Amino acid sequence: MTTTPPQSSGRLAGKVCGITGATGIAEAAALRFAAEGARLFVVALREDDCLALADRVGPSTELEWVAADLTDESDAERAFAVCAQHFGRLDALLACAGGSGRPFGDGPLHSTSLQSWNTTVALNLSTAFLSSRESVKIMLDQPSGGSVVYVSSVAATNPVAGAFNTLAYAAAKGGINALTLNGACQYGVAGIRFNAILPALTLTPMATRAAADPETLDIVKVRMPISGGGPLSADDHAQAALFLCSDESKHITGQLIRVDGGWGVN
């Protein structure tokens, strides 16, 4: 799914912004960050996705990318070493890497295998842990601190009985919420902020099946009234990420921000 490049107002001018992932919310964020003057560091699993994103961003934005498996510690260390070497700094990280655990067998508690659990948690929580750990190592060496923004999910905080029942995914996103609060508490003294965006159903490649399911859309109509009763766009979250990565949010940390069309209160 493609996103129209936004207009620029220079809100990230000169900042080095890291993004994990290259499709969906990550793609929308890269386009919006680039339009706002950021220099981009992108880490994604597939080289083809990195190349496609770099092509969409265009040559006017400085963009360095690395294809790496962020569930693997040595690969994560290798990737962020490239960032430190190329840019010498990192002002913000948007940790988008992750995905549905359904292909691995994620489901209700009573039917989820340990292998499904481990794979899904690695894909969603370990990637967030390793990418933010390596980012914070860079940020601690710069007096300006930085901003870490995780992509969590309303699945961790506002489940729906009988629907969206993927235990490992929800638990992994709950772990990301804990990373957010702990990071904000422990690294505030170093000027490093931690916040998380909690999307509801969003039109991304991961959500293609759900967005086409009539029963799911019936739930969305009730749970997401201010979105017009339909899924959100990836750019809705990119706009929130832009705010959290910019100096406009310099006094905001430790927040779990639902970008959910009203999901959490309906």
* Half-sphere CA count of 20, side-chain side, radius 13 A: 32
205 band by pLDDT with thresholds 50, 70 and 90: confident
Provide the whole-model pTM: 0.94
pLDDT at 4: 53
**pLDDT per residue as tens digits for the range 213-257:** 788 888 889 999 998 878 999 999 999 999 999 999 999 999 999
Average pLDDT over every residue of 87-110: 97
CA distances from 28 to 33, 86, 92, 214, 253 (A): 9, 23, 16, 26, 23
Average pLDDT over every residue of 77-105: 97
Question: To the nearest whole percent, how much of the chain has pLDDT over 90?
Answer: 86
Contact in structure between 259 and 240 (CB atoms under 8 Å): yes
Query: Which domains does the chain show, CATH number per domain?
Result: 16-260 (3.40.50.720)
| Overall residue count recorded for the chain in this entry | 266
123 band by pLDDT with thresholds 50, 70 and 90: very high
pLDDT at 215: 84
pLDDT at 5 over 60: no
Token pair of 74 as six digits: 């040595």
pLDDT at 7: 54
β-strands 192-199, 202-203 pairing? unpaired
CA distances from 47 to 26, 43, 56, 116 (A): 15, 9, 14, 25
